Amino acid sequence: MKIGALLPPGNPTVEAELRRMAPDVELALARLVTPDGQGPAGEAEGMEARARGYLAGLDVPAREVGRASPTVTVLAHTASSYLNGFAAEPALVARLSAASGGPALTAAGAVRAALLALGVKRVALGTPYPESIMALGRAYWQAAGFHVVSHRRLGDIPDIYATTEAQARDLARAVDTAGADGVLLSGTGMPTVGVLAELERELGKPVVSSNQALLWHAFRVVGAPRAIPGFGRLLSEG
Task: Please write the tens of the pLDDT for every residue from 28-60.
Answer: 999 998 776 556 666 667 688 888 999 999 999
For the chain, give every residue range classified as CATH 3.40.50.12500.
Answer: 2-109+211-229
> What's the topology of domain 111-209?
Rossmann fold (3.40.50)
Task: Please write the tens of the pLDDT for every residue from 64-110.
Answer: 999 999 999 999 999 999 999 999 999 999 999 999 999 999 999 99
Task: Please write the tens of the pLDDT for every residue from 211-232.
Answer: 999 999 999 999 999 999 999 9
Radius of gyration for the alpha carbons in the chain, expressed in angstroms and rounded: 16
> What's the topology of domain 2-109+211-229?
Rossmann fold (3.40.50)
pTM beyond cutoff 0.85 = yes
Mapping DSSP onto H, E and C, the string for 138-186 reads HHHHHHCCCEEEEEEECCCCCCHHHCCHHHHHHHHHHHCCCCCCEEEEC
For the chain, give every residue range classified as CATH 3.40.50.1860.
Answer: 111-209
**Mean model confidence pLDDT for the chain:** 94
